[in-house]
Amino acid sequence: MKMRSKFAPIWILLIIVGCSNDKTDDLPGNPDPEVSDLYFPPINGDTWETISISDLGWNAAAEQPLYTFLEENNTDAFIILKDGRIALEKYFGTFDAAQNHSWNSAAKTLTAMTTGIAQYEGFLDIDRPSSDYMGPGWSSLTQEQEQAITVRHHLTMTTGLDYTVPNNGCTDKECLMYKNAPGTYWFYHQAAYTLLDNIVSGAVQQDFSDYFNLKIRDRIGMQGAWIKTGYLNLYFSNARSMARFGLLNLNKGIWDQTPILEDQAYFNMATTTSQDLNKAYGFLYWLNGKDNFKIPGSEESFPGKLMPAAPDDLYAGLGAFDQKLHIVPSKGLVIVRFGDSANSDELGPTTFDNELWEKINVLIE
């Protein structure tokens, strides 16, 4: 069981998640008032300030029941940051703080931010055809059909590529066929996402992993690496590295006083509804608080919020086998969970998200 979550099977892709801040005029260095007093750990070393549950006024009696719940649901690592400081950090079984774990689709958020940086630097335009950066003939579509697919369509799961192929993670030309007009249908198509690696690398004329390391990983003190697994490009890191990226998101792409993603308009688009076909999806981020949502593997639209127990402004990176990165600006929270499947082997959102928030609400009440 553990091997599935740490080394995801060939058909699994990294997922991610978006959220709810409708501002479009925020400037770098001017985060939301709720999270204006953020702490950032040093780039080098293991130093990270903590804050106790008693100092926060949280319900100490709920801490151990939360840990019991997490352990019973195959959790390896769990972290809660409050305004950047570690409020809870717990490892289970033989897993420890130094061990790396696959983010699975939660790493889609890494790709989304990397794409935004490439656009800000002038290497690409998300409203240009993706063939501008991959070259023509990357699919089985006609040249006209290819030209209609933009980078934005890859970011929003609306390329119109045929997701009913035997392996919808396959990025071989013969697997990439026409089904719908771009922008008219939402489906969680793994291959359409994976192609963003080629789009970014073609635009910046540099290996995607190297560009990501230079622009994000090394600038915020993360560790970890992208590892090719079949058609997939999976990110592996320790739990604190995921927490660092969550903190970067909490401050809208700014690490302390250093802008990492300087395009605030792009960040706001990434973490708000990107299209009307699945309101709970931004640019590879999952969003709570919307009135309907779709989930991976399904063509059905479900009414209600993605996580009814969670704050409406939560946005997230959500990966197969319940890898979780939850960001809640209104409460200054970042929540990280690594492990194996809690309930079911889904690619992204699961019932575990909501069950986890039912426990967290008792803790932070």
Residue 147 DSSP SS3: helix
146 and 177 in contact (C-beta within 8 Å)? no
75 and 338 in contact (C-beta within 8 Å)? yes
Domain ranges, ordered by start, for the chain: 2-364
Cα–Cα dist 260/117, whole Å: 8
Those residues with Cβ within 8 angstroms of residue 16's Cβ, 6 or more apart along the chain or in another chain: 105, 106, 107, 108, 109, 110, 111, 112, 284, 285, 286, 316, 317, 318, 319, 325
Q: Which CATH superfamily is domain 2-364 in?
A: DD-peptidase/beta-lactamase superfamily (3.40.710.10)
Cα–Cα dist 229/7, whole Å: 9
For 74-130, what is each residue's pLDDT tens digit? Answer: 999 999 999 999 999 999 999 999 999 999 999 999 999 999 999 999 999 999 999
Record the tokens describing residue 166, joined without a space: 């035997």
Taking 70 as the threshold, does the pLDDT of residue 229 lie above it?
yes
Taking 90 as the threshold, does the pLDDT of residue 23 lie above it?
no
Of the listed ranges 12-26, 205-219, 249-263, 332-346, the one predicted with least confidence: 12-26
For 42-67, what is each residue's pLDDT tens digit? Answer: 999 889 999 999 999 999 999 999 99
Q: State the pLDDT at residue 285.
A: 98
Cα–Cα dist 208/216, whole Å: 12
For 267-319, what is each residue's pLDDT tens digit? Answer: 999 999 999 999 999 999 999 999 999 999 888 889 999 999 999 999 999 99
58 vs 12, residue with greater confidence: 58
Q: State the pLDDT at residue 47.
A: 96
**Mean pLDDT, range 203-209, rounded to an integer:** 98
Q: State the pLDDT at residue 347.
A: 76
Cα–Cα dist 268/279, whole Å: 14
**CB atoms near residue 286 (< 10 Å):** 33
* Residue 8 confidence class, pLDDT cut points 50, 70, 90: very low
Record the tokens describing residue 253, joined without a space: 């792409």
* Residue 21 confidence class, pLDDT cut points 50, 70, 90: very low
Cα–Cα dist 109/269, whole Å: 13
Those residues with Cβ within 8 angstroms of residue 153's Cβ, 6 or more apart along the chain or in another chain: 130, 159, 160, 182, 183, 192
Taking 70 as the threshold, does the pLDDT of residue 2 lie above it?
no
224 vs 45, residue with greater confidence: 224
Record the tokens describing residue 55, joined without a space: 């100092």
For 144-202, what is each residue's pLDDT tens digit? Answer: 999 999 999 999 999 999 999 999 999 999 999 999 999 999 999 999 999 999 999 99
Record the tokens describing residue 147, joined without a space: 């030209």
Torsion (CA) 220, 235, 191, 181 in degrees, nearest 10? -30
Residue 93 zone, left/alpha/beta (φ > 0; ψ -120 to 50; rest): left
353 and 14 in contact (C-beta within 8 Å)? no
